[in-house]
Structure 1
Amino acid sequence: MGNGRLALFYLIVFFCGRIDVSVAAVADAIDRPAIESNLGVHSVLLSVTSVGDHFIAVGERGLILRSDDDGKSWHQLSSPVSVTLTGVNFFDDENGYAIGHGGIVLRTTNGGKDWKIQLNGQQLAEKLLQQAEKSKDEESIRQATLLIADGPDKPFLDLLVLGRDHLVVVGAYGFAFESIDGGQTWVSWMEQIDNPFGLHLYSIRKQGERILVTGEQGFVALSIDNGQSFETIETPYEGSFFTAQLLGQNEIVLAGLRGNTLVSEDNGLYWKDIKNPISSSIMASFIHSDGQVIMANQAGTLLGLRENRLVPLTRKRLPPLTNVLEKANGSVLALSINGPVSIDVGDFK
């Protein structure tokens, strides 16, 4: 299977769950705690964050894993759901959130020891219907009614944690919602993000007052007023962007399907194409402490952005990578379809 098709396969299976996943199965999984297993460290993991002196990672079947020894070993934490979890982030050492399939939002207030369901897709649809009926907006009522009929089958794919009780989540079909009370109530951002075809939203990033949202079919939206309004940004590529970074005051980096990478130095007015020797989809990125943007792709390679090109940073072939994070010593913790992989600085070219 070629790199392009391989990337699409993993995206469909692990991010959107559209292969042999029924609404009934998702509905059951959002109410069923994750099964305890010693195979978690070898499973598909999709997101990782540092919390104090340890790491927490999430992935398929509701897995939540913790490492207390710099990623050398991992143990499973209890999880109230069995749906795939796609994102995790913390505000401080105690307060954090995880998101996933079925419109799931989980919250912890004790550093990840315990997680509680704050939202699922069925609850979200019901809340949207209540809001629509209150506003007497017929189109909103129609859409919310359809969501209830669909069932909780739509995944969240990325999140911003802006405070102990403040978060924004984005996901499939253009879903974008904000909560300022820890997930008790939600306000839609879908009105200010012009996405009439409901394109999937894969990433959301914030720097200062800028908030960037990227998604499928080249969709990019930028806010320069802290999310109050968004402008749709045109790009020369119509494929999906799975990850992005905001640099400086006006610089934007986009990367995604088939390794396509773009950089703008003027908030998206003009774009330049970045040369990439590997035509495999880029799934994740981060800004290293040395200022370099590092990306992870489905070919199992870490890439460094240097001027107008991407340079492979790893010598050995790794499994398809799904996420990446810098460790305290400057080395890298990567996630893959076969679990976490630690990459020492000495492995970089």
Structure 2
Amino acid sequence: MRHSSFKLAALIFGLSAVPLSLLITTEAQQEPAAAATEAGAAAAPVESTSEAAPEATAESGGEPAAAEAVAKPIVPRPSEMAVRAVNNPLLRVVNTGKHYVAVGVYGHILISADGTKWNQVASPVDVMLTSVTFADENNGWAVGHDAVILHTADGGETWKQQNFQPELNKPLFDVLFLDAQTGFAVGAYGLMLTTTDGGSSWAQVAANPVTEDERHFNALAKLGDGSLMVVGEAGTIGVSADRGLTWTKLATPYESSLFCVIAAGEKGALIGGLRGNSFFSADVRAGSWKKMQTNSDQSLFGMAALPGDKVAMVGLNATLLIFEPGKPVHSVPIIDKLGNRQTESLSWLTMAPDGGLIVVGDAGVQRLDAAKF
């Protein structure tokens, strides 16, 4: 799906059938999906659609048999190489341990050795990529709209398609791998896919009590004790203590959308969502959450751990907040080259080699000096 103009509020968690900006600009709970999850086994295999299925033919004459005709699956187009891809909207950036990788609109994938000079690499899809993660320096996965999943085995230099299901109309919003074999991808209407073979095959997790009402899953994290945590629409929070085999739905401190989560301590987490709402818990299973005084009404999309137990959060309208234990939340203004305060929204961030920040969002990728925060 091509877009002529972009706002981050309409990109990250939008669905083609819904007015996109409404999904993250209101406190009202979104309506659950109309279609119910099909009852059945806990994991239903997802068939690969990377190769076109052959047409059915009649037994005689070699002509197609109408009754047995098989529709050809949609095959994605590769992303176009863009001169200014680094300035187009990007939704996620990660440090692989070897270099940096960022993903975004039109299937764009960019890599950088230092976080300053970026090069676009070929991508097998032109749909929006919403998240990327690496299990080690070489093995990484990117996910996005049309339930697309891409894999790289060379640190992001080349990518291959593992999954593509536009017929689901369920974009994937986040991906997490525990090692080079075991991973999870989550998205709209409670979609959760899992793999135990590095993505060679993916299975859809059904009968999940966390998403029995088909709320959107927006973000995944691994907690300090090894547990997994997922957050999403309408305050959805779920945890798994057995590497994703079973999940438990937890009570929420907030009844509207949560967009990001990061581990804190052994059993705790920090979560963020709509209108600047953020909460901390030292033990998520205990259900005791403390509301963070962000002094902001801008929705929060991404988090990154900083030295000294600090956490940085980014969101709408160039929001950058710094959380530091025992101190008030600090807001950092982002100034553009003309000396004006930046207004483009930010989606994610990671540490730069010099201790600064690499942030991505509406304006692409940019570096922030460590002295500013």
TM-score normalised by the chain length of structure 2: 0.77
In structure 1, the partner of 2:106 is 61
1:239-258 mapped onto 2 (5 Å cutoff): 239-258=256-275
Q: Specify which structure has the higher proportion of helix.
A: 1
1:1-349 mapped onto 2 (5 Å cutoff): 10-18=8-16, 31-68=76-113, 70-121=114-165, 151-207=167-223, 208-268=225-285, 269-306=287-324, 307=326, 309-314=328-333, 316=335, 317-318=341-342, 319-348=344-373
Give the residue type in structure 2 aligned to 1:191. A
Deviates more, 1:307-316 or 1:227-236: 307-316
**What secondary structure, in the 3-state scheme, does the structure 2 residue paired with 1:15 have?**
coil
Give the residue type in structure 1 aligned to 2:11. V
Following superposition, which runs of at least 4 residues in structure 1 exceed 4 angstroms of deviation? 27-30
Once the two structures are TM-superposed, the CA of residue 314 in structure 1 deviates from its matched residue by: 3.8
**What secondary structure, in the 3-state scheme, does the structure 1 residue paired with 2:284 have?**
coil
Listed one character per residue, the Cα deviations across residues 97-117 of structure 1 (whole Å, up to 9, x for unaligned) are 111100100011122221111
Once the two structures are TM-superposed, the CA of residue 228 in structure 1 deviates from its matched residue by: 2.8
Listed one character per residue, the Cα deviations across residues 205-261 of structure 1 (whole Å, up to 9, x for unaligned) are 012331110001111112233323222111231111100112112222111100101
Give the residue type in structure 2 aligned to 1:33. P
**What secondary structure, in the 3-state scheme, does the structure 2 residue paired with 1:328 have?**
coil
Percent same amino acid among aligned pairs?
A: 30
**What secondary structure, in the 3-state scheme, does the structure 1 residue paired with 2:189 have?**
helix
Distance (whole Å) between structure 2 residues aligned to residue 102 and residue 236 of structure 1: 31
TM-score normalised by the chain length of structure 1: 0.82
What's the RMSD between the two structures over aligned residues?
2.2
Residues 29, 82 of structure 1: 8 Å contact kept: no
Once the two structures are TM-superposed, the CA of residue 29 in structure 1 deviates from its matched residue by: 8.4
Once the two structures are TM-superposed, the CA of residue 30 in structure 1 deviates from its matched residue by: 5.6
Residues 274, 308 of structure 1: 8 Å contact kept: no
Give aligned pairs, total. 306
Residues 174, 190 of structure 1: 8 Å contact kept: no
Unaligned runs of 5+ in 1: 1-8, 22-26, 123-150
Distance (whole Å) between structure 2 residues aligned to residue 14 and residue 186 of structure 1: 23
Distance (whole Å) between structure 1 residues aligned to residue 18 and residue 220 of structure 2: 28
In structure 2, the partner of 1:145 is none
Distance (whole Å) between structure 1 residues aligned to residue 96 and residue 334 of structure 2: 29
Listed one character per residue, the Cα deviations across residues 153-199 of structure 1 (whole Å, up to 9, x for unaligned) are 21110011222232110111101111111222223333344312211
Once the two structures are TM-superposed, the CA of residue 308 in structure 1 deviates from its matched residue by: 7.2
**What secondary structure, in the 3-state scheme, does the structure 2 residue paired with 1:243 have?**
strand
**What secondary structure, in the 3-state scheme, does the structure 2 residue paired with 1:244 have?**
strand
Change (3 A) 1:193 1:115: farther
Distance (whole Å) between structure 2 residues aligned to residue 338 and residue 19 of structure 1: 26
In structure 2, the partner of 1:142 is none
Residues 98, 137 of structure 2: 8 Å contact kept: no
Max radius of gyration: which structure? 2
Give the residue type in structure 1 aligned to 2:321. L
Residues 194, 232 of structure 1: 8 Å contact kept: yes
Once the two structures are TM-superposed, the CA of residue 91 in structure 1 deviates from its matched residue by: 1.6
Residues 294, 305 of structure 1: 8 Å contact kept: yes
**What secondary structure, in the 3-state scheme, does the structure 2 residue paired with 1:258 have?**
helix
Residues 8, 89 of structure 2: 8 Å contact kept: no
